[in-house]
A and B are shown apart, each in its own frame.
Chain A
C-alpha cells in the first residue's frame, strides 16, 4: 500500500461547480499535512496547510480526519484558473520526510 494515495482523476467540472478531493495516508504517526498545487510543467507550490480543526482560505477548505487517516480539499465556485494537479503531502520521520501523493488532476471547463 502506498503511503499517500489520491484519486488521479481527471475531474472535469464546469465553472462555478464545487469539487472535493480526498487523500488517504497509511502512517498514523504522520505529523503535518499540506495541499500543493502543480501547474503543467511547473514546480509544485504550497496551496494550504491542513490543520486538525480544519481551515479555510477563500474558496478553499481543507479538513483532516486523523481517526480515518484522510485529508480533504474542497474548492467552491471553481474558476478556469483552478485547473491544475493537486498534490497531497504528508510529513513523517520527525519532520524530515515529505511524502507526496500522485496528485489529482482538475480541469475546469466553460
Chain B
C-alpha cells in the first residue's frame, strides 16, 4: 500500500544549487499536484498535471519547473535554489476532479 511516495524526505541545498523532487503514485491517478507549505501561509499550489504529458501553473510557480513524462511520476525541479524556497513540499494525487487527494509524506527542504 505505497500510495504516494516522495523522495527525498529531507535535503539541504546551498543557494544556486539545483535539485529534483520525485513524486510517485501507484494508484493510477490522473491528477497530480505539487504544493509548498510555509508557516502562516497554508498549502500553496506550485504546479499541477491533469494527465501524462500535461502540466499547468498553480499559484506560486516561479522558480520551479515540472514534468510528467510517465503517468505515475511527477517531478518538481529547482534550477537555482534560493533561501525563499526553504519549505515543506507535498505531492498529491487524485483519480478525477472533485475527489479526495492523497498526499505524500512531504520533503523538508532547506536552502542556505
Contact = CB atoms under 8 A, between A and B. Distances in A.
Interface residues of A, number: 23
A7 B42 CA distance: 12
Give the residue among B33, B43, B50 with the most A Cβ atoms within 10 A: B43
B45 A102 contact: no
Contacts of B2: none
A87 B42 contact: yes
For chain B, the bracket of interface size reads 20 to 34
A49 B100 CA distance: 8
Contact of B97 (A46, A49, A87, A91): A91
Interface stretch (B60-68, B72-80, B102-110): B102-110
Contacts of A102: 40-42
Given A42-B105, A44-B90, A34 B100 contact: yes
Given A44-B103, A96-B50, A97-B58, A31 B98 contact: yes
A58 interface: no
A87 B58 contact: no
B96 A98 contact: no
Given A43-B90, A43-B106, A95 B41 contact: no
A102 B39 CA distance: 9
A96 B51 CA distance: 11
Contacts of B40: 8, 102
Given A43-B103, A43-B104, A95-B97, A100 B43 contact: yes
B112 interface: no
Interface of B: 31, 33, 35, 40-45, 48, 50, 56, 58, 90, 92, 96-101, 103-106
Which 3 residue pairs of A and B lie closest in terms of their CB atoms, listed nearest first? A95-B97, A102-B42, A43-B103
